[in-house]
Structures are given as structure tokens and as C-alpha cells.
Amino acid sequence: MAPVGGTQLRLVYSLLKPAVRAAARFHVPVRTLVELVRLAYFELLAHGGLTQAQIARRFGQTERHMRSLAQRLRTDFFRAEHEIGLVREIENLVATRSPTAAEIHSRLRAFEATQITEAIEQLLREERIVQDDSGRLVISPKYVLLSSEQFQHRIDALNHFMDSVDRAIISRLVFDEREESMMKTISFSAPPEKLRAFARTLEGDLRRGISTLEEDAAFEGIVGQRYALAISLTPIRDD
């Protein structure tokens, strides 16, 4: 394994700052924060297909420690990842590969078979995906807007947003991809009422524009490449 360079560490350090800022806001002890980082690292590696033995070597610890982390991942603390994150992942897999149910099971071996089956059935019920005549699963031709006030849905939305931000950072800052990736931060002043109207108009325009792009991609048979557009708007306060 190649040694980690200073540039890589600098990037990781900057990416850690939002998490550390949230920990400071909620008075999370450093020991607890470190344990959360270990859990997140284990979850990511396990999800990527590494065995507990391989992860143990990455951690420099025993497999017994890895089994303890694996047990913690099964608790209700990770409900958003188990119940909702899997659904979103299958939806993305369907969008990029148009797989069969068997192929989804084969690619997502980190999850239990019953969880995968239930997630596929949920997507079919909600008409977010459909099954074509050949038995393959494809994205529904109609746009489905999902909304929920449940906390685990909000956590999943946060995970999805941060994942897209991370991908944009790697694409733009590390690989310098300028044609299909972008990072912009614009600070400005605005009257509150006009700002709210601007935000509503912006969201509507984006949804209509993206819907048109999806229709064009479907018409041209382009299903391999998906994009993520993450937008944030927030007051800037000293807190």
C-alpha cells in the first residue's frame, strides 16, 4: 500500500471540518467522535466488499475488534443506512445498469438477501422503478417526488447530499475534471422575501430542466452515466 501524502491528508483534514464543527456544536466528547470515525471507516470498507480480515489489517487491529464494529452497524443507530440507504443504492444501480433482481443480489452481497428483496419490492410499489418485458429493472419514466418528516429519511437525505459533495470534490479538486464536474460557492445579500421567491423559482427551473435531460437521455438510450447536483442555501452567521 502506497504511503499517504501530505496533499491527501490536507484534503481529508478539510473534509473532516464539517463533522468536527457539528461535534463541537453538540458537545460530543473526542473519544466518541473518534469511535464514530472508526465506525464510518469500517462501514465504508465493508460496503466496498472488503472482508473483516482485510479491514482488520487496514485498521491494524484484530478481527475481534472488527466483529464488534460489525455488530454495532446492525443496531437501530444505523436505521437510515439499512432501511433507506439500500433503497436509494438499488435505485441508482437500476438507473446505471438496468439489472435483473438476481444481478442486484449479486452486487450487494454486504446486505442480507431479504433486505434487498424488500427494497426492490418497495421501489416497485412506489413506481420508482419498473420491470420491462425482458425482466430487467429500469427507472420509471415518470418523476416521483418523495417527502418525509421522519428522522431516518432526513439522515438518508444528508448521506445522499454529502456523498454527492464528496464526489464533486474528488472529481474537481483531485482529478481536475472541468467538463462534467463543478464546485461553486457564491455569497450574496438579498431581502428575505425575494430570496424565498428566488429559491422556489430556482428549484422549479432545476426540476424542469433535469426532467428534460432525463427524457433526452432515455430517448437516446443513454443509461450508463448518472450525475448528482447538490445545492445548498444558508444564512451566514457567526455561531
Residue 41 is predicted with a pLDDT of 92
DSSP 90-121: HHHHHHHH---HHHHHHH-TTS-HHHHHHHHH
Grid cell digits, residue 119: 427494497
Which residues lie across from 137 on neighbouring strands?
Answer: 131
Residue 185 vs residue 89, higher pLDDT: 185
C-alpha cell of 46?
A: 465493508
- Is the pLDDT assigned to residue 146 strictly greater than 90? no
Residues 6+ apart with CB under 8 A from 100: 135, 136, 137
- 48-80 per-position pLDDT tens digit: 888 889 999 999 988 888 988 888 887 777 776
**What does DSSP assign to residue 3?**
P
User: What cell does 159 get?
Assistant: 448521506
CA 180 – CA 169 distance, rounded (Å)? 12
Q: Which three cell numbers stand for residue 234?
A: 444558508
CB count within 10 Å of CB 90 equals 24
Stretch 169-185: mean pLDDT:
89
User: 161, 230 in Cβ contact below 8 A?
Assistant: yes
Look at residue 117 and tell me whether its pLDDT is greater than 60: yes
* Whether the Cβ atoms of residue 226 and residue 96 lie closer than 8 Å to each other: yes
CA-based nearest residue to 174, from 41, 43, 19, 12: 12
Identify the three-state secondary structure at position 183.
coil
Grid cell locating 112: 442480507
**pLDDT of res. 126:** 81
48 with 202: CB under 8 angstroms?
no
pTM (two decimals): 0.66
In whole numbers, what is the pLDDT of the chain averaged over residues? 85
| Rounded average pLDDT over 201-212 | 89
